Amino acid sequence: MQSSGENFVVISGCSGGGKSTLLAVLQARGHHVVEEPGRRIVKEERERGGQALPWVDPLAFARRAIDLALADRAAARAHSGWVFFDRGLIDAASALASLTGEPVPETLAMHRYHRRVFMAPPWPEIYVTDAERPHGFEAARSEYRRLEKTYPALGYEIVTLPIDTVPARADFVLAALSS
């Protein structure tokens, strides 16, 4: 694999769309997986009583997510084969852009992922809230629509994950990467 990021595959899309479950199966099949920056930030902020939470200080949260996503990419260079990211730099930059009204920075071109980005579509039947995801389904759907525009604007091809079993979704992703 190339160190240019061609082996870095983003699984993005709707919150509560089954991304983390899919990534757990890919990891069980021997692939390296990078956990979602946002969930790690929320957990850390809650543990230390911090304020960089998306519902308290969304700008601080988005900036931390960008920093963490950049660190994740740097660390992932040590892995050969496919490296699957539960969200990543573009998701964080897109969130920041939506908060500030500024466009997603063109400097993201220096931090490319694989050209195909797998998007988990809104799936109300499996959507649940939890401590790291207290927002409702409509906010998740809105986030999906934003990302659905952001990735192609940056030159990525969106591949929508099927509404299917988790093993079938994993097979779908690996087959799409092989073609």
3-state helix, strand and coil shares in percent for the chain, rounded to the nearest 5: 50, 15, 35
Q: How confident is the model at residue 68 (pLDDT cuts 50, 70, 90)?
A: very high
* pTM for the structure as a whole: 0.89
Q: How confident is the model at residue 107 (pLDDT cuts 50, 70, 90)?
A: confident
CA distance 139 to 32: 29
- Nearest to 30, CA basis, from 100, 72, 84: 84
CA distance 68 to 74: 10
Classify domain 8-178 at the CATH superfamily level. Answer: P-loop containing nucleotide triphosphate hydrolases (3.40.50.300)
* Average confidence (pLDDT) over 114-124: 89
CA distance 5 to 109: 11
